[in-house]
Amino acid sequence: MRALFLDGSQLTLRRDYPAPAPASGESVVRVTTAGICGTDLELVRGYMGYRGVPGHEFVGVVTASSTPALVGTRVAGEINAACGNCDFCRADLGRHCPARTVLGILGRDGAFADYLTLPDRNLIPLPASIPDEAAVLIEPIAAACEIFEQVALAADEKILVLGDGRLGAIVASVLRTHGFAPVVGGHHREKLAALARLGLKVEAEEKLRPGFDCVVDCTGKSAGFARAVTLVRPCGRIILKSTAAANGALNLAPVVINEISVIGSRCGRFGPAVAMLDEGLVDPRPLISARYPLDDGLAAFAAARDPLKFKILLQVA
C-alpha cells in the first residue's frame, strides 16, 4: 500500500509499504481523509524519536474487523490503543495506559497510508450528519473538550488562547460553544483576521497585556509556556497543550512565586466531540486551508509548515 514513512527526520512516500495486520480484537480501516497536526510536524523534527507512518487524525471505512458489524462502517478512532487491563484502563483512563500504543505517534503505524489498524473499541461510527472534512478534526475537538474534564472554569473567566494556529482556533471555538469568550492571541495578522471572521475575539500578540485568569498554550512552541507565564495573573492557570520538541531553558521560579497552576492537557474522549459536531455546535470546516492527495504528501507537509495556513488535509481515498 501507499504510506508516508518517517525514518528519523526523513519523510518519504512509499508505494510498497506492507499493509498492517490486525491483531485479535482489532479492525482494519481504509483511510479516506487524514489531517496533518502540529504533533506530526514535531515528529518530523525528531519528537518522540518516532519511526513509522505518522498520522492520527483520520476518517475511514472499516474493511475487516474482529467485530463483523463494523465492516463497512464509516468511523473515526481514538488514538490510544490501551491494554484494557491495568489500573488506568480500569479507571477509563486508557489514554494513560503505560502499555499503550498511540496511532502514528508511538509503536503503531498511523493514518497517512491507505490502511491502518486500531482496536475495535477505539472506533467511533460516524453519523451521516458529519461530513468527512469535519470528522477528520474530531481528535483536536476532543482534545479541546478535555479542558472541561480537567478544570472548572468560572463563568466570567478571562481566558487567553495563545496561538493562532489550528489547535488554538479549535480550542477557542469549543470554549465559545461552552459560553466562554476567549481572546485568541497570535503573531499572524491574516490568520487573526480569518478567526475574527469566524466570530472569535482576537488580539495581536504584541498588544496582549498580563492579567488573564487562564491561558491556554496552543502555540506548539516551547517559547509559548514562558510567554503564558508572563500573561497569566498570580494564582491563575496555564493549560498546556503544546508538546514542543525543543527543550527550552525554562524558568519555573515565577510559577512558584505567583502560585500559578500548570495543567498538562492532551487527548480527550471522542464522544463529546462527535456530539458537538452532530448537533452543529462547532464547524471546523472554515479552518481547512488546503487538501492534497496522499501522493503529494510531502508537498502537504511543506504546506502545513507554512505559519499562515490553518489545517492541511490529505485525501487518501
Per CB under 8 A, residues contacting a copy of itself are: 47, 88, 93, 96, 98, 150, 222, 225, 234-235, 240-245, 247-266
In angstroms, what is the minimal distance from the CB of 97 to a copy of itself? 9
Closer residue to a copy of itself, CB minimum distance, 96 or 178: 96
Closer residue to a copy of itself, CB minimum distance, 252 or 298: 252
Closer residue to a copy of itself, CB minimum distance, 252 or 308: 252
Closer residue to a copy of itself, CB minimum distance, 225 or 292: 225
In angstroms, what is the minimal distance from the CB of 239 to a copy of itself? 10
Q: Provide the CB-side half-sphere exposure for 314 (13 A, CA).
A: 33
In angstroms, what is the minimal distance from the CB of 252 to a copy of itself? 6
Closer residue to a copy of itself, CB minimum distance, 255 or 317: 255
Other beta carbons within 10 angstroms of residue 34's beta carbon come to: 30
In angstroms, what is the minimal distance from the CB of 96 to a copy of itself? 4
Helix (H) or strand (E) holding 216: strand 212-217
Cα 230 to Cα 6, 165, 251, 253, 255: the distances in Å are 36, 20, 11, 12, 10
In angstroms, what is the minimal distance from the CB of 151 to a copy of itself? 9
Contact between 167 and 143 (Cβ < 8 Å):
yes
* DSSP, residue by residue, 115-163: EEEEEGGGEEEPPTTS-HHHHTTHHHHHHHHHHHHH----TT--EEEE-
Other beta carbons within 10 angstroms of residue 46's beta carbon come to: 13
Q: Provide the CB-side half-sphere exposure for 264 (13 A, CA).
A: 3
- Scanning the structure block, which residue is given the C-alpha cell 497536526? 37
Cα 252 to Cα 185, 229, 257, 303: the distances in Å are 22, 9, 9, 35
Closer residue to a copy of itself, CB minimum distance, 72 or 98: 98
Separation between Cα atoms, residue 72 and residue 42, nearest integer Å:
33
In angstroms, what is the minimal distance from the CB of 44 to a copy of itself? 16
